[in-house]
Structure 1
């Protein structure tokens, strides 16, 4: 559905819901917030109608990012001019009409290129098993190297290129094409490039616990919260940045060339990671057979670089770097506190 399709022909209840939706965008004072809660509590249908407007607003994210950013700035500027002293006076209704007209108008402006931009020229899903790495080349010449336990989808449109990375990590070598930006969507972040080599990691169930990590080997990239482009930072070669689960970016820091996607060389590095995080990372590459049943042992921290394909080396050195011992339990091995 195109973003403007469901905005017309709303009834009286939707008129009220639109009223509250617009007031929320403009900002509510405590008294207005209390009035909204009273209106929502009056009938379940009120909340359902308000949610429909909110959903339409959120669906604007399907439009090209630059257009959405301009639209939302323009809408909020309009709202600043129509904030009501009384909920249903003529100026307020006029303001709401302007809001809907603006949505419809922007939709019309974008509709001319909407179908063209949304028509995928190429779509390709990919996934690697534990312990597997995979290299693939997209039709535009861009190359992806996928690490173990990684899945995603590459979609090439007429005016843009996208890779969605819901799990895992990958190294990207992007074919330069200024007319078709290349975006990588990972967790809450959007990474935009024209031509470069960079690595993206998003492993919500493993090490980094839902954070996104980006490191640039060559060229430069733009990193932003996928829903708030104004928070973007630019990374140059030899720089890295992490985000938290909400997409808030940390400080940009330096990274040596060997540190960018070190998994390409069969290395995983840990810095002050818990033993539980380390084991979860090893499990991305294969069955470890190691068991943690003591929370205190799981919280022990270590720093080091290991080869995930040589688990026996890790098992051998573990009692030397942490106060633990290994105890066989049938086909499994439990990590216990050292005596």
Structure 2
């Protein structure tokens, strides 16, 4: 019998309630309605949290949705009193955003074609934070820890600059406005696709395509609408692709760019793809990477930095599944499984060494 007991903190319940309220505001699918009802019925605290938050949200679509799902709940259709303490409301929403590990960016989008054509905004995440944003054209962007993304839409193109970090882009189709992500000294143009870009340095990048295909070029190459239509059926053997010294990466492939040089494209297994994208669920998966590389990846999600007192530890191959930012769990695993002891040299510095075998 398992002795593991699942429980949720008040902050976690409020974060879940916030996501459900946001989903109701845009409209629940049939499957989502069933999932929401199941979640509410799990715990009275779930129901209390979502109804309290609905009163603060004060959106007719949300109130109507709750009324149809829970017709016996008397308080939901009562008008909201405008004398509500807005400092309390603000603190509630601030707590929800902090508690939520992944949240959807809700903003007032441009409403006219002219406004949408000139949309610009900067999105960022802090160390250890992940966030999902929906752009005005319905493109979905998920940013990993410590990322900075500049978005600039014009009438003829959609251009984004990933200044640091990592992002996943589920691109809305718009043949009239090509979608390009610039990172370091490379540009990644979507050809109807879902892809992931990680910037390790200006000249060291990673591209993983999970749907459609992406063209890698130098930033000086500008793709217009006519080019876009032709490139959708292009491959690496196409003359127009060779002429601009581009590389096309298709679904299930990964491109590594080291010191500005694009290495041979790699075909990944399903497990490889899942491992590379595990960060989207707040998980880090290692499968034979050197310990030095694994610790470097872990450090992206926390202020903690690692020092290897014994240089031989750097090449030690490691494997395991860890929650991003869970330094205690990582150190315990290293001690139990690999006899690697640690010493804290400061608030954010951990030294690792081989344990005594005596």
TM-score scaled by structure 1?
0.57
Query: Is 2:132 aligned against 1:132?
Result: no
Structure 2 counterpart of 1:318: 334
Query: Is 2:204 aligned against 1:211?
Result: yes
Query: Is 2:277 aligned against 1:261?
Result: yes
**Are the aligned partners of 2:255 and 2:262 in contact in 1 as well (CA < 8 Å)?**
no
User: After alignment, is 211-220 or 289-298 more displaced?
Assistant: 289-298
Query: Is 2:255 aligned against 1:241?
Result: yes
**Are the aligned partners of 1:188 and 1:247 in contact in 2 as well (CA < 8 Å)?**
no
For the residue of structure 2 that corresponds to 1:170, the secondary structure is strand
Alpha-carbon distance in 2 for matches of 1:249, 1:184? 19
Cα-to-partner distance string for 1:92-144 (whole Å, 9 max, x where unaligned): xxxxxxxxxxxxxxxxxxxxxxxxxxxx7121111110111111122222110
Q: 1:216: how far off?
A: 1.4
User: After alignment, is 276-285 or 130-139 more displaced?
Assistant: 276-285
Query: Is 2:135 aligned against 1:157?
Result: no
Cα-to-partner distance string for 1:308-331 (whole Å, 9 max, x where unaligned): 132222111113554532234464
User: After alignment, is 157-166 or 304-313 more displaced?
Assistant: 304-313
Q: 1:220: how far off?
A: 1.7
For the residue of structure 1 that corresponds to 2:263, the secondary structure is coil
Alpha-carbon distance in 1 for matches of 2:305, 2:276? 29
Alpha-carbon distance in 2 for matches of 1:338, 1:204? 34
- Out of 307, 320, 333, which is 2:323 matched to? 307
Alpha-carbon distance in 1 for matches of 2:331, 2:217? 39
Structure 2 counterpart of 1:232: 246
For the residue of structure 1 that corresponds to 2:245, the secondary structure is strand
**Are the aligned partners of 2:208 and 2:253 in contact in 1 as well (CA < 8 Å)?**
yes
Tell me: CA distance 1:322–1:154, structure 2 relative to 1, closer, same or farther (3 Å).
same
Unmatched tracts of structure 2, length 5 or more: 1-116, 222-240
TM-score scaled by structure 2?
0.54
Alpha-carbon distance in 1 for matches of 2:346, 2:299? 19
Superposed counterparts of 1:278-317, under 5 Å: 278-288=294-304, 290-317=306-333
Bigger-Rg structure (1/2): 1
**Are the aligned partners of 2:254 and 2:266 in contact in 1 as well (CA < 8 Å)?**
yes
Q: 1:335: how far off?
A: 0.8
Alpha-carbon distance in 2 for matches of 1:307, 1:196? 28
Alpha-carbon distance in 1 for matches of 2:150, 2:213? 23
For the residue of structure 2 that corresponds to 1:297, the secondary structure is helix
Alpha-carbon distance in 1 for matches of 2:300, 2:180? 25
**Are the aligned partners of 2:249 and 2:265 in contact in 1 as well (CA < 8 Å)?**
no
Query: Is 2:182 aligned against 1:166?
Result: no
For the residue of structure 1 that corresponds to 2:325, the secondary structure is coil
- Out of 164, 171, 190, which is 1:193 matched to? 190
Tell me: CA distance 1:139–1:303, structure 2 relative to 1, closer, same or farther (3 Å).
same
